[in-house]
Amino acid sequence: MTTNERVETVYQYELNTINGENISLSDYEGELLLIVNTASECGFTPQYEGLQELYETYSDQGLEILGFPANNFGGQEPGSDEEIAQFCELNYGVTFPMFSKVSVKGEDQHPLFEYLTTAENPDFKGEISWNFEKFLIDRNGNVVRRFKSRVEPMSGELTNAVTEYL
């Protein structure tokens, strides 16, 4: 590796939580991460319930779920961070970390999602096509799996991948 090359991981990104606190994803180093772009007015919104169940099932083994509200698809996340946080807590009892609303595609795409959608593995490359796409990040900060919106959080496909990497 030359001095100009550097290995990229999710740990190099800093973001704001939904409550306005700036944190580095390096705070999650050593944890298995499931990064999800979310929306409150989507047909997949009930997946919040499954994400919370997944979190409660595996968080004590090292799984962290990170939710990123995005308004990129059909205006399905129009609310403010405060409204989104309240919606998630009241309707789905969400206790996993939620972040400030970001753009997950297009000219204003957040750098984290640019990284996630251009990962070296060709199976994970490509623009996010809808809300509730999920990226599984291993304990070293690398993208290891990607799940489309239709993959339910508690499905065998996703839970098997989680247990494989825990």
5 pLDDT band (50/70/90 cuts)?
very low
Instruction: Report pTM.
Output: 0.94
* Residue 88 annotated in active site: no
| Enclosing domain of residue 60 | 10-165
DSSP calls for 62-114: TEEEEEEEB--STT---S-HHHHHHHHHHHH---S-BB--B--SSTT--HHHH
What pLDDT shows up at residue 2?
Answer: 39
Three-state SS at 29: coil
Number of domains the chain is built from: 1
pLDDT (tens digit, 9 = 90+) per residue, 77-94? 999 999 999 999 999 999
| 3: in domain | no
Rounded Cα distance, 10 and 25, in Å: 7
CATH number for position 113 = 3.40.30.10
What pLDDT shows up at residue 8?
Answer: 83
Active-site residue, selected from the candidate residues 42, 57, 138, 142: 42
HSE toward the beta carbon, residue 36, CA cutoff 13 A: 30
